[in-house]
């Protein structure tokens, strides 16, 4: 048995022990959790894309044996590591207002006029919040009027999307 097999076996045994402990308190919940894990594992075994997505979603950097239950059941002298969720420090602030609402109120020219009153970082916040930089260029621009033009262009484009299916009144 290689080291990975031992890790998997330990993780499965730890999960089984935790489920059995839970079953003493709440058999229904333990049964539902066991079924859930079984379905997920079966599907991941057959679907590589799901398996990859699950791997990315779970914290693969930490060792599976450092779960709180496994840490209690270990007999080594190693102190258990605490899990801390990393937060993204590069997340931008929300934009100062909704450009789509302003566009609906005052049109493209009014939107552009209001955008030009904002500083570059506020414009970038609007772009980030509304996903207006698919080509990854606008966030690098230094000219506020160029960034404002991008926002107006995207707002107009998205506002007109699907207009062929709308009836004319």
- Alpha-carbon Rg for the chain, nearest whole angstrom, is 26
Tally DSSP H helices, then E strands, for the chain: 7, 0
> From its phi and psi, is residue 128 left (phi > 0), alpha (psi between -120 and 50) or beta?
alpha
Residue of 11, 38, 35 lying closest to 23 (CA atoms):
35
Which pLDDT tens digit goes with each residue over 37-86?
A: 888 888 878 888 777 777 767 754 444 444 444 444 444 444 444 445 55
Q: What is the mean pLDDT of residues 115-128?
A: 96
For the chain, first and last CA: distance in Å? 73
Which spans in 47-143 are helix H?
A: 48-57, 68-73, 99-115, 120-129
Which spans in 26-98 are helix H?
A: 27-46, 48-57, 68-73
What span, in angstroms and rounded, lies between the C-alpha atoms of 16 and 19? 5
Which pLDDT tens digit goes with each residue over 78-104?
A: 444 444 555 556 788 999 999 999 999
Percent of the chain with pLDDT over 70: 76
Q: What is the pLDDT of residue 43?
A: 81
Q: What is the pLDDT of residue 69?
A: 47
């Amino acid at each position: 048995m290689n080291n990975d097999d031992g890790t998997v076996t330990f993780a499965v045994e730890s999960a089984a022990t935790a489920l059995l402990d839970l079953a003493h308190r709440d058999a229904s919940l333990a049964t539902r959790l066991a079924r859930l894990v079984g379905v997920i594992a079966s599907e991941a075994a057959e679907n590589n894309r799901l398996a990859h997505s699950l791997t990315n979603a779970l914290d693969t950097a930490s060792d599976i044996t450092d779960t709180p239950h496994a840490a209690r059941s270990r007999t080594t002298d190693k102190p258990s590591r605490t899990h801390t969720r990393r937060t993204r420090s590069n997340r931008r602030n929300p934009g100062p207002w909704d450009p789509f609402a302003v566009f609906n109120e005052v049109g493209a020219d009014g939107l552009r006029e209001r955008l030009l009153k904002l500083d570059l970082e506020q414009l970038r916040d609007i772009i980030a919040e509304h996903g207006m930089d698919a080509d990854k260029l606008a966030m690098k621009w230094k000219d506020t009027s160029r960034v404002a033009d991008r926002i107006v262009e995207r707002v107009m484009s998205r506002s007109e999307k699907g207009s062929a299916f709308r009836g004319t009144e």
